[in-house]
């Protein structure tokens, strides 16, 4: 998980729109590192291999630190495929800004409902600590003079001073403990407010603009959502179908899949203006990016809700060809080549609890997807 300070930086990350191709960035950034877990329970980390700069995720259980412990045998995962699949699921998960805004409002309401002014509480404790500190200094000086008048030896004088200051030392320790606790509560409350603000910002960006986020931006979103991807089976049998129409379209033309940046969208947005039909809940940009993600990753149509019918409609009407013609000279990534992924479970959580162990507040909100289906 990210620290509260790192979570606050998500506001800046979400403000950017992923301009330009992400090809060079992807060589170094692996946004799903530590978020993917294999059958053995260990997490996967990203790695770039060979001169071809092939990006993959490898299970930590395959690192043989002790020869007496066998390697787990979990297979490595193609980075582009799993990143495309997971990000597609996350975008689908966040396609309803209302849910995120509701969670953000709940976090803010809970912070206000606590009714505690932590800054004032800390200030009061600091004042009490200062008073006890002063009293301790006076007591030590007074007992030293008394010990001298009584002509006590060093050990006796020390014990005499300790007896006199013990109640004050105890009270000081209690006050310092209370202050430390109040500071921790204040930090937790501020972190929840920041988290709520991040969720509000995320809700504003939910939808089509999320599809064009860079890998580093995706990494920050995964941290905010406490993303966890679990491999449900060893290996995979499914490959990209030879009759996968959208993948086949790019293969037949030996064309790369265009990256739908804001600049790219500006080219094709006018094509959708004034088109007849009922206005859909999901905008055309979101559908277009989802279909391009499918072409890029080879995922099943089931991972692109509504995408298959939209693609069929666009392709039969000639709209798809118009869109791709407008994007033909822009940067792109290779079409799926037949690799596949094992079945995955993708889930994310947003914890609305202000304080760990506080039973008076609701349990965490579960944003788990229904994606236990194979790729």
The verdict on 88 and 135 lying in the same domain is no
The answer to whether the beta carbons of residues 23 and 331 sit under 8 Å apart is: yes
Q: Which of 297, 306, 303, 305 is nearest to 239 (CA)?
A: 297
Pair 224, 333 in one domain: yes
Q: Which residues of 325-340 are buried (b: 16+ CB within 10 A; e: fewer)?
A: ebbeebebbebbeeeb
Greater confidence, 283 or 173? Answer: 173
Query: Residue 281: pLDDT band by 50, 70, 90 thresholds?
Result: low
Position 242 scores a pLDDT of 46
Based on the fold, state whether residues 231 and 299 are members of the same structural domain.
Answer: yes
**Domain extent for 362:** 4-95+207-366
Kindly state the DSSP code that residue 228 receives in the 8-state scheme.
E
Domain match, 166 and 284 both: no
Closest CA to 300 of 334, 272, 340, 254: 340
> Which of 133-142, 149-158, 268-277, 351-360 has the weakest average pLDDT?
351-360
Which of 128-132, 137-141, 152-156, 306-310 comes out lowest in average pLDDT? 306-310
Going by the DSSP 8-state scheme, the letter that residue 280 receives in this structure is P
Domain for residue 105, yes or no? no
Asked if 325 and 230 sit in the same domain, the reply is yes
For 138-162, b/e burial (b = at least 16 CB within 10 A) is: ebeeebeeebeeeebeeeebeebbe
Q: Looking at residue 3, what is its pLDDT?
A: 56
pLDDT at position 303, please? Answer: 77
Is residue 183 one of the residues assigned to a domain?
yes
Which tops the pLDDT comparison, 112 or 284? Answer: 284
Question: Same domain, yes or no, for 352 and 272?
Answer: yes
Confidence of residue 24 (pLDDT cuts 50, 70, 90): very low
| Residue 159, token pair as written in the block | 């014990």
pLDDT over 90 for what percent of the chain? 25
User: What pLDDT is recorded for position 295?
Assistant: 87
How many other CB atoms are found less than 10 A from the CB of residue 178? Answer: 16
Structure tokens at 234: 């060893």
Reported as a pLDDT band with limits 50, 70 and 90, residue 201 is: low
89 and 149 belong to one structural domain: no
Q: Which pLDDT value is given to residue 360?
A: 33
Does any domain span residue 27?
yes
Confidence at 193, pLDDT banded by 50, 70, 90: confident
Q: What's the mean pLDDT in 340-352?
A: 69
pLDDT digits (tens, 9 = 90+) for 297-327: 877 787 788 888 888 889 888 899 999 999 9
**Which domain-ending residue is among 165, 196, 227?**
196
Residue 134 shares a structural domain with residue 211 = no
pLDDT at residue 59 greater than cutoff 80 = yes
Question: Is the same domain home to 226 and 339?
Answer: yes
What is the rounded average pLDDT of the residues 334-342? 71
Q: What CA–CA distance (Å, rounded) separates 132 from 135? A: 5
Residue 94 has pLDDT above 70, yes or no: no
8 A C-beta contact, residue 231 and residue 62: no
Same domain (yes/no): 232, 325: yes
Q: Which of 179-188, 291-300, 319-328, 330-339 has the highest mean pLDDT?
A: 319-328
Please indicate, yes or no, if residue 215 is contained in any of the structural domains: yes
Same domain for 72 and 19, yes or no, is: yes
Edge-to-edge strand order for the sheet containing 77-78?
Answer: 44-49, 54-59, 77-78
Is 375 within a domain? no
Which residues lie closer than 8 Å to 263 by C-beta, 6 or more apart? 19
What's the pLDDT score for residue 371? 39
In a domain, 373, yes or no: no
In the three-class reduction of DSSP (H, G, I as helix; E, B as strand; rest coil), residue 178 is classed as helix
Beta strands in the chain (DSSP E): 36-37, 44-49, 54-59, 77-78, 228-231, 257-258, 332-333, 344-347, 349-350, 365-366
Of 156, 171, 196, which residue sits at a domain end? Answer: 196
Q: Judge whether residue 155 has pLDDT over 80.
A: yes
Q: Domain ends where: 158, 175, 196?
A: 196
**pLDDT cut 70: percent of the chain above it:** 66
Does some domain include residue 104?
A: no
Tally of structural domains, the chain: 2
On whether residue 201 sits in a domain, the answer given is no
Residue range 47-63: mean pLDDT, rounded: 81
Instruction: Determine the Cα–Cα distance for residues 48 and 35; give it in Å rounded to an integer.
Output: 17
Give me 138's structure tokens. Answer: 């006076």
Enumerate the β-bridge partners of residue 346. 229
Is residue 310 within 8 A of residue 285, CB to CB? The reply is no
Same domain, 258 and 355: yes
State the average pLDDT for the chain: 75
């Amino acid at each position: 998980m990210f620290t509260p300070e790192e979570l606050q930086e998500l506001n800046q990350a979400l403000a950017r729109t992923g301009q330009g191709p992400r090809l060079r960035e992807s060589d170094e950034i692996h946004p799903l590192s530590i978020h993917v877990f294999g059958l053995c329970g260990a997490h996967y980390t990203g790695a770039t291999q060979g001169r071809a700069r092939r990006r993959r995720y490898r299970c930590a259980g395959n690192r043989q630190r002790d020869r007496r412990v066998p390697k787990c045998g979990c297979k490595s995962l193609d980075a582009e495929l799993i990143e495309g699949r997971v990000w597609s699921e996350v975008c689908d998960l966040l396609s309803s800004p209302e849910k995120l805004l509701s969670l953000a409002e709940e976090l803010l309401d809970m912070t206000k409902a606590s009714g505690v002014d932590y800054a004032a509480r800390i200030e009061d404790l600091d004042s009490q600590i200062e008073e006890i500190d002063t009293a301790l200094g006076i007591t030590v000086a007074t007992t030293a003079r008394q010990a001298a008048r009584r002509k006590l030896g060093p050990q006796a004088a020390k014990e005499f001073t300790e007896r006199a200051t013990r109640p004050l030392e105890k009270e000081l320790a209690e006050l310092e403990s209370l202050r430390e606790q109040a500071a921790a509560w204040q930090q937790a409350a501020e972190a929840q407010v920041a988290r709520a603000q991040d969720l509000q910002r995320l809700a504003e960006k939910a939808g089509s603009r999320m599809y064009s986020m860079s890998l580093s931006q995706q990494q920050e979103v995964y941290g905010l959502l406490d993303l966890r991807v679990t491999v449900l089976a060893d290996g995979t049998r499914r490959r990209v179908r030879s009759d996968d129409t959208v993948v086949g379209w790019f293969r037949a033309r030996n064309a790369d899949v265009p990256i739908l940046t804001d600049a790219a969208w500006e080219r094709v947005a006018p094509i959708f203006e004034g088109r007849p039909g009922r206005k859909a809940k999901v905008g055309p940009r979101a559908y277009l990016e989802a279909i391009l993600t499918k072409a890029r990753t080879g995922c099943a149509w089931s991972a692109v809700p509504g995408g298959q019918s939209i693609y069929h409609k666009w392709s039969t009407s000639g709209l798809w060809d118009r869109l791709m013609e407008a994007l033909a000279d822009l940067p792109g990534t290779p079409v799926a080549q037949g690799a596949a992924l094992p079945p995955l479970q993708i889930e994310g959580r947003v914890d609305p609890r202000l304080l760990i162990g506080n039973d008076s507040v609701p349990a965490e909100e579960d944003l788990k997807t229904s994606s236990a289906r194979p790729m």
